[in-house]
Amino acid sequence: MSHSFGYVRVATAVPEVRAGAVRDNLASMLGLARDAARQGCDVVVYPELAITGYTCADLFAQRLLLDAARAALMDFAEATAGLAPAFAVGLPLAVDGRLFNVAALIQGGRVRGVVPKTYLPSSHEFYESRWFVPGTDGVRDQVDLPGGAVPFGIDLLFRAEAPSDLCLGIEICEDLWAPVPPSSLLALAGATLLINLSASNDLAGKADYRLELVRQQSARCLAGYAYCSAGVGESTTDTVFGGDCILAENGAVLARSEPFRRQAHLTIADLDMAFVQHERQTCTSFAQAGRGGSGSAPGSYREIRLDTPRAAARHDLRRAVSPRPFIPADPAARHRRCQEIFAIQSTGLATRLHHVGATRVHLGLSGGLDSTLALLVCLEAFARLGLSKDGIRAVTMPGFGTTHRTRNNAELLCAHLGLNLDTIPIAASCRQQFADIGHDGTTADVTYENVQARQRTQILMNRANLLGGLVIGTGDLSELALGWCTYNGDHMSMYGVNAGVPKTLVRYLIDYYAEDKADPATAAVLHDILDTPISPELLPPDDDGRIAQKTEAVVGPYELHDFFLYYAIRCGFAPRKVLFLAEAAFRDTYPPDTLRRWLRTFLGRFFSQQFKRSCLPDGPKVGTIALSPRGDWRMPSDASAAAWLADLDGPPTA
């Protein structure tokens, strides 16, 4: 189904339903169908048995109701012939003297296939086996409808011609609650969008469980999942239905309906089928399960081709795109994430120290973000091991660009934390190095900068030899992605505690420590560090003694580079798709030309700087992205970026 960059617009549609009022139900369903088509939807999912209502009970044995439902199905197909979406409609259907609870998939005025419910509940509230038989009891592979014979069975897949990543699999309500849901096998057989026509009643606490069930199934199946439940119009004789609708993708809930709405309503989101396929291609366990490694491999499925819809290509996006994909938006979730990451960093360092028998660490403390976080991690690691914090040997090494603000913050931070801070100026030794190599000592070129960075690393390494212990690296994931580090300078250490932490997350981790662990005086220093412009301070300050060399003015805003890193590397998206998402996320912050410029910078640097990542020291992975050459990211140092840059410069994809 056509959408730029592989997105499929999916709607759940909860009509105004009354038990047994087939024509009224049909009218409400058609109203939603037209509305969904106007909004550019590709797939529309209705609740279970929506044509008749789920709560008809013994009325399902009435031929009058069954005939009315079958007629309404054909009327729905005829009325939607000119609409682009594929519609999944629920109804009771009699076949060979058996009654099935089915979902009929309709597109272009025709019923393309009918899928019966596999698992029937027999609880106090529901006793479906009184009226229906399970889908496994079907003895035919097609059913006769007024328009002709239609494929019938639990073995149907519906594949779209475009995008080729879209393949629909259908299950009904209780199917999802089974130990091995049909959707699991459908996903292994190729279904990328799983849809569930449901009638799930509401009980105290059930909504949360249902949400988690849908979310987990979308994650386990590496799929999109559209769940549509019956609304408040169903009979309330013994139970109440709230119309719960959930749209999820790979474990993320993209949209959820407001509960207990009395009006007919749609819940819409764009699901990314291309990302689903990317995740499956990179997940070896998914491929293994598809080959039968799990003991529940899919059987033989019939594939039904859907037409390419006639809807025009869309350039909007019906899903939230966070400008900070590494940072949870919810404050409570963000706090838990920071707590967890800080524990991973400090535990990694503590385990390494314990393994090598080290009781001392050395790190350069600049008064900037990265070295501050590394110092806090060291402090926590020493506490975990019960070691004296006297073993934390922080060193400030003022050079040609060091400002009073950063040096003062380094000194205050150590004072408030009760740590010793040694000061070793590097200006004289750098001037000697300039003289030794024939540099004039005044030209502010790359040599001028890198001599300082390498001198600091040399001091730390030599002190570690002299006094014992490990040199702790401070560079973060964003700097590694951009290669914004001096080879064999700040690029090198004996353990890099920040190697898995992107720059945008570094800020939140320091803020977490300030709010959760620090006393007021220490917190004040940490907040000033957070407010300090990011700089390597390798060039002289301005006339007022302030930082003149601002990193983000040179390489671009880190919030953009972290965004690019997530979508280009974590998700494997092509540059034009990354740009499309960036325009959605930063529409109120950066103009498109600025986004394109910095994305070009990111791509160029990411490819050209791989040689620095190919020899990284050890460091803990804390999230879904890491650039370690030993596992997470293996790339030739001389790979060409030409194809990626050409894609960025190409015409918009429709």
Report pLDDT digits (tens) over 440-471.
999 999 999 999 999 999 999 999 999 999 99
- Residue of 41, 56, 167, 173 marked active site: 173
pLDDT at res. 648:
95
Q: Nearest-CA neighbor of 473 among 490, 452, 448, 458? A: 490
Please report which confidence band the pLDDT of residue 541 belongs to, taking 50, 70 and 90 as the band edges. confident
What token pair was written down for 392? 């934390």
In contact, 210 and 225? CB cutoff 8 Å: no
CA atoms within 13 A on the CB side of 8: 36
Helix axes 331-356, 503-516, angle to 10 degrees: 90
Report pLDDT digits (tens) over 475-502.
999 999 999 999 999 999 999 999 999 9
pLDDT at res. 311:
46
- Residue of 16, 41, 48, 449 marked active site: 48
Please report which confidence band the pLDDT of residue 4 belongs to, taking 50, 70 and 90 as the band edges. low
CA–CA distances in Å: residue 428 to residues 173, 284, 422, 441, 542: 75, 55, 17, 11, 21
Question: What region does 163 belong to: left with phi over 0, alpha with psi -120 to 50, or beta?
Answer: beta
CA atoms within 13 A on the CB side of 309: 29
pLDDT exceeds 60 at position 293: no
CATH code for the structural domain at 4-306:
3.60.110.10
Report pLDDT digits (tens) over 195-227.
999 998 888 888 899 999 999 999 999 999 999
Distance of CA 201 to the CA centre of its chain: 30
* Residue 430 appears among annotated catalytic residues: no
pLDDT at res. 268:
97
Q: How far apart are CA 162 and CA 165, in angstroms?
A: 8
Q: Nearest-CA neighbor of 41 among 321, 310, 320? A: 310
* Residue 48 appears among annotated catalytic residues: yes
pLDDT exceeds 90 at position 186: yes
pLDDT at res. 1:
37
Q: What is the largest CA-CA distance in the chain?
A: 100
What average pLDDT does the structure give for the chain?
Answer: 92
pLDDT at res. 312:
45
pLDDT at res. 654:
43
Amino acid at 270: D
- Residue of 56, 117, 128, 485 marked active site: 117
Q: How far apart are CA 482 and CA 627, in angstroms?
A: 11
pLDDT exceeds 80 at position 411: yes
* Residue 577 appears among annotated catalytic residues: no
DSSP assignment string, 310-353: -PPP--S--S---S-TTS-SSHHHHHHHHHHHHHHHHHHHHHHH
* Topology of the domain comprising 331-649: Rossmann fold (3.40.50)
Segments making up each domain of the chain, as ranges: 4-306, 331-649
For residue 145, the 8-state DSSP code is: E
Distance of CA 320 to the CA centre of its chain: 11
Residue for token pair 């302030």:
546
Q: How far apart are CA 573 and CA 580, in angstroms?
A: 10
Q: Is 180 exposed, middle or buried (0-12, 13-18, 19+ CB in 10 A)?
A: exposed
The model's pTM: 0.91
- Name the percent of the chain lying above pLDDT 90: 81
Q: What is the CA radius of gyration of the chain?
A: 30
Give the range among 26-40, 222-236, 289-303, 626-640 with minimum mean pLDDT: 289-303
Please report which confidence band the pLDDT of residue 123 belongs to, taking 50, 70 and 90 as the band edges. low
CA–CA distances in Å: residue 345 to residues 363, 426, 431, 572, 618: 15, 30, 37, 26, 12
In contact, 529 and 374? CB cutoff 8 Å: no
- How much is the average pLDDT of 319-336? 94
